[in-house]
Amino acid sequence: MKEFRGSYSVNVTPFTADGSAVDLEANRRFLDWQIAQGVPGVILLGTTGEFLTLTDAERATYVEDSVAHVAGRIDVLVGASNAHTPTAARYAREAEAAGADGLMIIPPYYYTPTEDEILGYYDGITATCGLPIMLYNNPFTSNVDMSAKLVGRLTRTFDTVRYIKEASMDVARVYDIVEETDGVMNVFAGERIVESFLLGAKGYVNPFGNYIPRASTRIWEMLEAGRIEDAKRIQRHITVIEHTIAEGHPTYGHQCYSKALAAAAGYPLGDVRPPLTQFAALGAEGEARAAKLKGIMDEMDRLMDELESKAA
């Protein structure tokens, strides 16, 4: 099975200016930039990628075009989540047929399924698709918090379930999962980057790769190199970005500002689709917050120049 390691960007989905279609040309430019910045892998159609707003035809074309354009230069994982097990399994098979390297799959949302139902869901997917699966534990969007014991059960039951994005906000869960699975499960941090690494995480899934891919990639490389204090300096800037975004209305979120900040970095990707509030609708408030965030991005660039010159 292919090994995933490092800081993977969970990408926004670029839309045309009117939001009516996926902008494949903008996406290719965007992927090339991320690859040039050293990103080891991207994850398409996660929460940040507004996966619920795409038609089946759009997602199939987007995945096929992205995988073909990347052409093996980095890993491409695809979100294959759905509340209907056969649909999730079909999405998984389509990603496999397109040449994706892996999947990221959250438990079925809305229904608040039991542990046995969650097991049945992943059974239905793994029965027809052989790609490695990254579980996605995000109780805030799925209304399900997968305990370490449940993760252990899934790990022991399915040979292709060997990764998890742990985003429960309980950083100790990283350690609990590693212990429960005897180190077989590879945990990817969903937040608290430095702390997760120190507790045994093998990688990081982050939305910041949409506009600061250099920093959000190097932070994990520095951790692996033992440069813990340097990584903490990067994390402090990322935390300021995160808190600045969170000051707004909750539905503004990473999708809205990620696209605005990617545009500020030179890669316009359109706006979000309804029901999310569009950046254009935020007016002066959004412009002021984006300007503040752009200033932090500029500070981050200067910090990265300093940290990289130290290693030269």
Task: Say what the pLDDT of residue 119 is.
Answer: 98
For the stretch 137-157, pLDDT in tens is: 999 888 999 999 999 999 999
For the stretch 105-146, pLDDT in tens is: 999 999 999 999 999 999 999 999 999 999 999 998 889 999
Task: Say what the pLDDT of residue 312 is.
Answer: 66
The architecture in CATH of the region 6-225 reads Alpha-Beta Barrel (3.20)
Per-residue pLDDT averaged across 9-15, rounded?
Answer: 98
Work out the end-to-end distance of the chain between its first and last CA atoms, rounded to an integer number of angstroms: 34
Task: Say what the pLDDT of residue 1 is.
Answer: 81
For the stretch 161-189, pLDDT in tens is: 999 999 998 999 999 999 999 999 999 99
Task: Say what the pLDDT of residue 22 is.
Answer: 98
Task: Say what the pLDDT of residue 247 is.
Answer: 86
% the chain with pLDDT above 70: 98
Active site residues: 136, 165
Per-residue pLDDT averaged across 218-228, rounded?
Answer: 98
Per-residue pLDDT averaged across 226-242, rounded?
Answer: 97
For the stretch 247-279, pLDDT in tens is: 877 666 678 999 999 999 999 999 999 999 899
Buried/exposed code over 193-211 (b: 16+ C-beta within 10 A; e: otherwise): bbbbbebbbbbbbbbbbbb
Round the CA-based radius of gyration of the chain to a whole number and report it: 18
The span from the CA of 56 to the CA of 43, in Å, is 17
Per-residue pLDDT averaged across 291-307, rounded?
Answer: 97
Task: Say what the pLDDT of residue 173 is.
Answer: 97
For the stretch 39-59, pLDDT in tens is: 999 999 999 999 999 999 999
Q: Reply yes or no on whether the pLDDT at 217 is more than 90.
A: yes
The span from the CA of 186 to the CA of 181, in Å, is 9
Phi, psi of 165 (to 5 degrees): -90, 115
Average predicted confidence (pLDDT) for the chain: 96
